[in-house]
């Protein structure tokens, strides 16, 4: 079973078999506008919950992307570095940014489900 959660920093996280796929929400990409640059973390890097791990930059602003869980970066989506607009087109699917092997699956407990996130984001 795959479940998607959301953070107050406008990241989404989808966990399957102990690995979390992480990206920015559609709401976040709409607020940023057209993305022109994406910086991803190195595979193998250990990250802590709430740590800035990636950067997305638009013509308006640059924003850190935080990891909603602790673990090890096991994959990055290199397609988005060559085509940052992929995040605009497919923010919550093909525009994912990184995958993290969870070190503590219970860290997802404080995250929002889709209904709560939609209410939060307005």
- Provide the whole-model pTM: 0.95
Name residues of the chain where pLDDT drops below 70.
1-2
Closest alpha carbon to 59 in 88, 95, 79, 82: 88
Annotated domain spans of the chain = 3-102
pLDDT number for residue 96 = 98
pLDDT in tens, 31-50: 999 999 999 999 999 999 99
According to CATH, what is the number of the domain 3-102?
Answer: 2.40.50.100
Which single residue is written with the structure tokens 């966990």?
Answer: 15
């Amino acid at each position: 079973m795959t479940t998607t959660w959301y953070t107050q920093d406008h990241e989404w996280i989808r966990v399957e078999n102990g690995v979390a796929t992480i990206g920015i929400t559609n709401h976040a990409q709409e607020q940023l506008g057209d993305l022109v640059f994406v910086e991803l973390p190195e595979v193998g890097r250990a990250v802590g919950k709430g740590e800035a791990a990636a950067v997305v930059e638009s013509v308006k602003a640059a924003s850190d992307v935080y990891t909603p869980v602790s673990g090890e970066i096991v994959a990055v989506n290199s397609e988005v570095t060559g085509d940052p607009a992929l995040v605009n087109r497919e923010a919550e699917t093909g525009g994912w940014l990184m995958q993290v092997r969870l070190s503590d699956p219970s860290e997802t407990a404080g995250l929002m489900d889709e209904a709560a996130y939609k209410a939060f984001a307005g």
